[in-house]
Amino acid sequence: MKTLFAILPLLASQVAADTIVATRSIRPQQLITADDVRSEPADVEGSYAFLGEVIGQEARVAIYPGRAVMFGQVGRPALVERNQMVELIFSLGGLRIAAEGRALARAGAGERIRVMNTDSKTVLFGTVAENGSVLVTN
């Protein structure tokens, strides 16, 4: 029994994980399709291992053919573009305040973003909602 436990770590290290690799050049802001990536038997630390994690995402940077797709290189597709006018919503208890704002960066749903209230010129932080509005936190 003692020898079995000595062998298990060796077997675990020999099990190859998959790595997602670009099949062609992927430009920043491009949506990634199944034709753009493939799974290869390799274990690259910090890279995606499953196609489902990458397909349908948006490239944040250029990804070159044959290179592993690393964490941080892809994200949710942007709903809000830089300088786009957005609805700012502050909600606390029964109070709801809506104002017009300008996005200071690109962002997808669920991402934190800086926005400027166009009336007061105050810069705030908020989270992009699924409908493209920005939920401002206190």
For residue 117, what pLDDT is reported? 97
Model confidence pLDDT, tens digit, residues 5-21? 454 454 444 455 899 99
Whole-number pLDDT of residue 12 = 47
- Under 8 Å between Cβ of 50 and 20: yes
Provide the pLDDT confidence category of residue 100 given band limits of 50, 70 and 90.
Answer: very high
Give φ, ψ of 120 to 5 degrees: -95, -10
Residue ranges of domains in the chain, CATH in brackets? 16-75 (3.90.1210.10), 78-136 (2.30.30.760)
Please tell me the distance from the alpha carbon of residue 19 to that of residue 58, in angstroms, as a whole number.
18
Q: Which amino acid is at 46?
A: G
Residue 50: pLDDT band with limits 50, 70, 90: very high
d(CA 76, CA 135): 17
Q: In angstroms, what CA-CA distances link 92 with 19, 73, 96, 97, 99?
A: 44, 35, 7, 9, 15
Q: Output DSSP code: residue 67.
A: -
